[in-house]
Amino acid sequence: MSEEQAKAFLKNTFYSPADQLAIADALVTLKAKDSAVFVARAATAENVDVAKFQRYRVELMAKESARLGTLTSFEAVSGFAINRDSKGNLVAVFPFDEIVWTEIAAHSFGDLTAAISKLGAGPKPIFATTAHISITAQAQLKKLGWQVVKL
């Protein structure tokens, strides 16, 4: 990553030094190429909640990489830093509590799905989450072509 990207991340006061260390450690453990994509996105955290979310997200990626087909790289897609697995599939890992199908969820997944389809990124993108997913959300994700993996 560039020195500017690293500085932007380190200057973001919403991250504690412990958060920054945990993120760096998770990225080293993950060994995914293009980690600068994740760091650039994480550097834009606008509050402590988003900073903690980014930390927990990359820690979950590092913990579950093997289970998710070995996450090998990061890629910027529709404003998100998502992964590719060893087979080339796009994998979106998010540590949510619950997902219900709201306008915001429909818009976010719709935009992400459209961006992924433009990339020609494999058979089915994978959405890996810790969340409880409502029946409606499950149906809509399936309709959009997502494979859902519960972590």
Tallying the residues shown for the chain, one arrives at 151
CA 84 – CA 74 distance, rounded (Å) = 6
What is the H or E stretch that residue 51 is in? helix 48-64
The answer to whether the beta carbons of residues 126 and 149 sit under 8 Å apart is yes
Q: What is the pLDDT of residues 51-73, one digit of tens each?
A: 999 999 999 999 999 999 999 99
**28: which 2 tokens?**
């080293």
Average pLDDT over residues 33-49: 97
Three-state DSSP at 86 gives: coil
The answer to whether the beta carbons of residues 121 and 100 sit under 8 Å apart is no
Average pLDDT over residues 27-33: 97
Domains and CATH numbers, the chain: 3-150 (3.40.1350)
**45: which 2 tokens?**
């955290």
Mean pLDDT of the chain: 95
**91: which 2 tokens?**
């994998």
The residue among 49, 30, 43 whose CA lies nearest residue 1 is 43
Q: What is the pLDDT of residues 136-149, one digit of tens each?
A: 999 999 999 999 99
CA 6 – CA 1 distance, rounded (Å) = 7
CA angle at 67 for the pair 70 and 109, rounded to the nearest 5°: 85
In this prediction, what percent of the chain has a pLDDT beyond 70? Answer: 98
What is the model's pLDDT at position 84? 94
Identify the band that residue 120 occupies on the pLDDT scale cut at 50, 70 and 90: confident
